[in-house]
Amino acid sequence: MEHKLISPKNKISLHSYLRLIWDYRYFSHSLAVGEIKNKHARTFTGLFLSVIQSLIGLAVYWLIFGIAIKINTGDIPYPVFALPGIIVWQYFSYLVGNSSGVLTNSEHLINKLYFPRINLTLAKILPGLLDFGSGFLVFLVIFLIFGVSFSITWLAIPLVVIVLIVCGLTLGLWTSILSLYVRDLSQIIIQVTNFLIFVTPVFYPGTIVPGNFRFILYLNPVAGVIEYFRAILFGSTLPDNGYLIGFAIISVLFVSAVIVYKRIEKQITDLL
Amino acid sequence: MKSGKAIIIKGLSKEYYKKDSSTSGFFDKLRPNKSGQSFFALKDINLEINRGEVIGIIGSNGAGKSTLLKILAEVTPPTSGSVEVFGKVASILEIGIGFQPELSGYENIFLSGKLYGLTKKQIISKLDKIIEMFGFPDFINTEVKHYSSGMYMRLAFSIIINIEADIYLFDEILSVGDSVFQGRALKEIEKLRETSATICIVTHTPKIIYHLCDRMILLDKGSLIFNEDPNSTIIEYQKASSLKQSEVISKNNFVDVNTLSNLKRCFIDLNGASFDLLNFKIYNPDHNEEKICGDKEITVELNFSYISSQDFRLILLIQDQYGTAIVTHFAEIEKSQVKNDVNLLMIFPENSLNASRFVFDVLISDTNNKIIIGYRNITKVDITNDTNKISRFMGYVNIPVKNIVSVNKNKNGNTI
């Protein structure tokens, strides 16, 4: 027989909270599948849409940065160079943009049912990953067209993806909490990410940033993700250790986001 | 484990801070304790609910019914006090919560089941039972948006019942949908009751569910003020709500010509005839108090003037506060080519109207019962009852039925 004590202070241990989140993984999964179906299966273009999106983005950036400005990308042709950055950035901004308003958008569910609220954000991982995957397929095609060779380091790709997901989730979790207090935050954050893309080495290699400005990239975990992703894909030398600063920051923010969620979770209904 | 407690609530309070969006800034919201006024949605609730009991939670708007349920459902935390819950809880604060209209019934079974914390395996093991109970196996792969409201609810309930929770919490589910929907929902809850689950139902229409409940609790402004069998609790609820509205309602015991002419609606061309209701009064003739007692004689007095080339009927229609017709009474009026002024008394004998709220309409019809003129919702009147002679909540009116009791005694003299 289950026995539960409901009291003002939700004294649940971190361990059992994580356990609870895990128990509700099916719920997240269902939400994700629903979202994917809504987004893809019921539209005319379907999954093709996200492929086209990445291609159009790539064409524009190729024109501007590859042909007009002629950014030096070494031996790697510009489209092959730029696409990994673009799909990483798309996934990141998807996670941030879609999870920041998730609490206010799911008010009807939150007001009617208990589930770990964090699972709403976790449900965003899968739909974004699908787009990321299709973008990666496009990359593979372009990769083969330009005849760049594979390398054994590709085995580390999942690791990069996991770090990327953590980055997106962390920002998403924090903005979703803070947007309970500042309603327009989720709008602001979309503008901020639109700006952030330019201080992230999406269109250019991080190495072209002068040494004394490099710290801006170091503080930006997505910069690190993209740099490592490229290094792995092209089998080039790993970026300098400065990027680890960003990862350190994001890990701290991630853990603290989970702890904050655990603490204020029950209050969320009243804050909505 | 059949006996024992299902829920123990001790000193439960819930305090809300009034949100004033115009003045409260970012930092005020972060420290709600220091800003604004607060009010208690629930104050020091103490309640024990036994295993297998069906509890109705009633009270007027803002009494804290839904807040109580939300705390039990862990949707919102209490401010102080505690609740001990024994067993698995399924909270149904809304029928079909989390259903995605774009997904099929089959997919929604999984979604809904997962929302209630079931694993895929658990759902699969119950799938056949759910679909069987749903009763429309051919539609299981149809998108839920194409379902009728009845099918939608059947699906929702067949999932809910198969969660096999020990405690079910229902919030106002009977107030959505039409009366057919309500009837179905009630039947489903009756089924659930047979599974010996503990059930809490919040409602503002206690008359619909009193036969289901073992006990009812009455909340008023956040306090638990009554906790008894359904009959006594409903009477207490009506007393409380009629007290609250007595000032407002008593004024309406007399309705004047201005108000009445605003209410007048003609449904056909009168062709030179006319009818004007001049006033509407309701009172107890033998005492002069403002409240009206159902256990005394009640008079409805109407003054009207008319010109008509045809005989017609004046109909007094008495409804409950939800607009359901309870009783009609009519008077035949003779034709008259000159303007007639009439004073009409309709006298209801004592104990004909039970304590409840009634809404009065006056309708004019021809002798074929075709409505010509309507005065809808003339007034709401709360009928009270001073004696406990009849079960006042059991229905709205009292019909004088004769009882003929015959007792057969057997040879030993013991009654059978």
Residue B64 clears pLDDT 80, i.e. is over it: yes
Residue A246 clears pLDDT 60, i.e. is over it: yes
Dihedral (CA of A105, A108, A110, A111) sign:
positive
Q: What's the pLDDT band for B284 if we cut at 50, 70, 90?
A: confident
Which chain A residue has its CA at the smallest distance from B112's CA? Answer: A27
Q: Whole-angstrom Cα distance, residue B210 to residue B55?
A: 9
Residue A14 clears pLDDT 60, i.e. is over it: yes
Residue B27, SS3 per DSSP: helix
CB pairs < 8 Å spanning A and B: 109
Half-sphere exposure of B273 (CA within 13 A, CB side): 20
Identical fold for domains B5-245 and B255-384, yes or no, is no
Residues of A in contact with B74 (CB under 8 A): 6, 114, 266
First to last CA, chain A: 33
Q: What's the pLDDT band for A170 if we cut at 50, 70, 90?
A: very high
Q: What percent of chain A has pLDDT over 90?
A: 12
Q: Which residues of A142-160 are buried (b: 16+ CB within 10 A; e: fewer)?
A: bbeeeebeeeeeeeeeeeb
Half-sphere exposure of B79 (CA within 13 A, CB side): 18
Do residues B382 and B242 touch, judged by C-beta distance below 8 A? yes
Q: Do B114 and A29 touch (CB under 8 A)?
A: yes
Residue A34: which of B83, B91, B100 has the nearest Cβ?
B100
B100, B110, B124: best mutation site toward chain A, by most A Cβ within 10 Å?
B100
Which residues, at least 6 apart from A150, have a Cβ–Cβ distance to it below 8 Å? none
Most confident of A117-126, B36-45, B216-225: A117-126
Residue B359 clears pLDDT 70, i.e. is over it: yes
pLDDT of residue A251: 92
Tell me the C-alpha to C-alpha distance, in Å, between residue A223 and each of A43, A57, A250, B162. 33, 19, 12, 50
Q: Do A112 and B102 touch (CB under 8 A)?
A: no
The CATH number corresponding to B255-384 among 3.30.70.3340, 2.70.50.60, 3.10.450.50, 3.40.50.170 equals: 2.70.50.60
pLDDT of residue B416: 47
Higher pLDDT, B11 or B394: B11
Q: What's the pLDDT band for B19 if we cut at 50, 70, 90?
A: low
CA of A42 to nearest chain B CA: how many angstroms apart? 9
Residues of A in contact with B88 (CB under 8 A): 2
Place of tokens 């939700």: A10
Quick one: average pLDDT of B108-130? Answer: 85
A34 at the B interface (CB within 8 A)? yes
What does the domain layout of chain B look like in residue ranges? 5-245, 255-384
Residue A113: which of B26, B77, B115 has the nearest Cβ?
B115
Higher pLDDT, B295 or B415: B295
Q: Whole-angstrom Cα distance, residue A207 to residue A211?
A: 9
Q: From start to end of B20-121, where are the E strands?
A: 38-50, 54-58, 80-86, 89-92
User: CATH topology for B5-245?
Assistant: Rossmann fold (3.40.50)
pLDDT of residue A39: 74
Radius of gyration of chain B (CA): 27
A2 at the B interface (CB within 8 A)? yes
Write the DSSP symbol of residue B104.
Answer: B
CA of B131 to nearest chain A CA: how many angstroms apart? 19
pLDDT of residue B250: 41
Write the DSSP symbol of residue A206.
Answer: G
Quick one: average pLDDT of A85-104? Answer: 88
pLDDT of residue B2: 47
Number of H helices and E strands in chain B, helices first, is 9, 19
Do residues B302 and B254 touch, judged by C-beta distance below 8 A? no
Q: Whole-angstrom Cα distance, residue A269 to residue B16?
A: 12
Q: What's the pLDDT band for B364 if we cut at 50, 70, 90?
A: very high
Cα torsion for B114, B116, B122, B126, to the nearest 10°? Answer: -110
Q: What's the pLDDT band for B110 if we cut at 50, 70, 90?
A: confident
pLDDT of residue A214: 81
pLDDT digits (tens, 9 = 90+) for A177-192: 888 888 788 788 888 8
Q: Which residues of A18-32 are buried (b: 16+ CB within 10 A; e: fewer)?
A: eebbebbbbbbbbbb
A146 at the B interface (CB within 8 A)? no
Residue B247 clears pLDDT 50, i.e. is over it: no
Classify B222 in phi/psi space as left (phi over 0), alpha (psi -120 to 50) or beta. left
Q: Do B118 and A113 touch (CB under 8 A)?
A: no
- Quick one: how far is CA A19 from the chain centroid? 23
Average pLDDT, chain A: 84
Report residue B164 as tokens. Answer: 């096999």
Half-sphere exposure of B293 (CA within 13 A, CB side): 15
Quick one: average pLDDT of B118-126? Answer: 86
Q: What percent of chain B has pLDDT over 70?
A: 85
* Poorest-pLDDT segment among B153-162, B216-225, B288-297, B351-360: B288-297
Quick one: average pLDDT of A181-209? Answer: 83
Which residues, at least 6 apart from B38, have a Cβ–Cβ distance to it below 8 Å? B15, B16, B17, B18
Q: Whole-angstrom Cα distance, residue A88 to residue A232?
A: 14
Residue B207 clears pLDDT 50, i.e. is over it: yes
Q: What's the pLDDT band for B178 if we cut at 50, 70, 90?
A: low
Q: Do A30 and B115 touch (CB under 8 A)?
A: yes
What is the β-pairing status of strands B298-308 and B274-283? antiparallel
CA of B79 to nearest chain A CA: how many angstroms apart? 5
Residue B302, SS3 per DSSP: strand
Report residue A138 as tokens. Answer: 């496009």
Do residues B73 and B89 touch, judged by C-beta distance below 8 A? yes
Q: Whole-angstrom Cα distance, residue A162 to residue B216?
A: 53
Do residues B230 and B206 touch, judged by C-beta distance below 8 A? yes
C-alpha closest to that of B6 among B85, B83, B82: B85
Radius of gyration of chain A (CA): 20
pLDDT of residue A255: 94
pLDDT of residue B249: 40
Q: Which residues of B320-340 are buried (b: 16+ CB within 10 A; e: fewer)?
A: eeeeeebeeebeebeeeeeee
pLDDT of residue B38: 79
Which residues, at least 6 apart from A177, have a Cβ–Cβ distance to it below 8 Å? A103, A257, A260, A261, A264
pLDDT of residue B248: 42
Average pLDDT, chain B: 81
Do residues A205 and A236 touch, judged by C-beta distance below 8 A? no
Q: Do B26 and A269 touch (CB under 8 A)?
A: no
Q: Do A4 and B84 touch (CB under 8 A)?
A: yes
A11 at the B interface (CB within 8 A)? no
Q: Whole-angstrom Cα distance, residue A206 to residue A239?
A: 8
- Quick one: how far is CA B344 from the chain centroid? 34
What is the β-pairing status of strands B5-17 and B80-86? antiparallel
Q: Letter for the amino acid at A38?
A: N
pLDDT digits (tens, 9 = 90+) for A134-154: 888 888 888 888 877 777 788
3-state DSSP helix/strand/coil percent for chain A, to nearest 5?
75, 0, 25
pLDDT of residue B23: 47
Residue A219, SS3 per DSSP: helix
pLDDT of residue B20: 55
Q: Do B115 and A38 touch (CB under 8 A)?
A: no
Quick one: average pLDDT of B303-311? Answer: 90
pLDDT of residue B246: 44
Residues of B in contact with A260 (CB under 8 A): none
* Poorest-pLDDT segment among A123-127, A242-246, B162-166, B388-392: B388-392
